[in-house]
């Protein structure tokens, strides 16, 4: 009988912001910027990392992540900020046996959807603290993105084949 209780079958254990690399143009005009940026002055890209499936502490765990790039340009289309950010998260199923379809949904949709708000928050906080004011990043439809290009699962739970 299927479990329709609404209880998650996947546990979010932890995350880390693992990439922060920001370069800002050293110009007087850059120091004058401090207000809300119009959408045409910001480029934002996001990429979903391949998810690794590991055997840790005698249980299956998944490590997934996201990469993001943000560019801010001025009214003359001159780049004033270029930033790369990344996040990794650790998850585990709450059951030793997980249906393949449920596993794919959890990895393809839920891992990126859970991690995205943490990454967005880190980016906006870092840029705000760097003097760029409030940055409003676009919303991402994770389900649609992963439907077009599913996240790959790399299985590291099996020992390597002889001769590999």
CATH number at residue 29: 3.10.420.10
Residue 144: give the domain boundaries. 10-154
CA distance linking residue 108 with residue 149, whole number of Å: 9
CA distance 142 to 47: 10
pLDDT at residue 62 greater than cutoff 90: yes
Please count the residues of the chain: 164
Task: Tokens for 102, please give them.
Answer: 């449920």
Strand boundaries in 3-150, DSSP class E: 10-24, 42-48, 51-56, 59-73, 79-93
CA distances from 94 to 51, 103, 104, 140, 141 (A): 18, 11, 15, 28, 26
* Mean pLDDT of all residues belonging to the chain: 84
Listed residue (63, 62, 80) closest to 71, CA to CA: 80
What's this model's pTM, rounded to 2 decimal places? 0.84
* Residue 44 belongs to a domain: yes
pLDDT per residue over 98-135, tens digit each?
Answer: 778 888 888 888 999 999 999 999 999 999 888 887 78
* Number of domains making up the chain: 1
Residue 148 lies in a domain: yes
């Amino acid at each position: 009988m299927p479990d329709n209780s609404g209880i998650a079958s996947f546990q979010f254990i932890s995350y880390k912001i693992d990439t922060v690399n920001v370069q800002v143009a050293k110009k007087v005009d850059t120091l004058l910027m401090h207000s809300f940026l119009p959408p045409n002055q910001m480029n934002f890209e996001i990429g979903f990392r391949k998810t690794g499936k590991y055997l840790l502490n005698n249980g299956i765990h998944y490590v997934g992540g996201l990469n993001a790039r943000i560019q801010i340009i001025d009214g003359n289309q001159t780049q004033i900020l270029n930033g790369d950010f990344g996040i990794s998260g650790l998850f585990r199923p709450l059951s030793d046996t997980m249906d393949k379809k449920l596993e794919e949904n959890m990895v393809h949709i839920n891992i990126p959807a859970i991690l995205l708000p943490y990454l967005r928050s880190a980016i906006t906080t870092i840029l705000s603290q760097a003097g760029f004011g409030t940055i409003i990043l676009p919303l991402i439809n994770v389900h649609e993105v992963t439907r077009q290009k599913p996240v790959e699962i790399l299985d590291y739970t099996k020992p390597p084949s002889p001769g590999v």
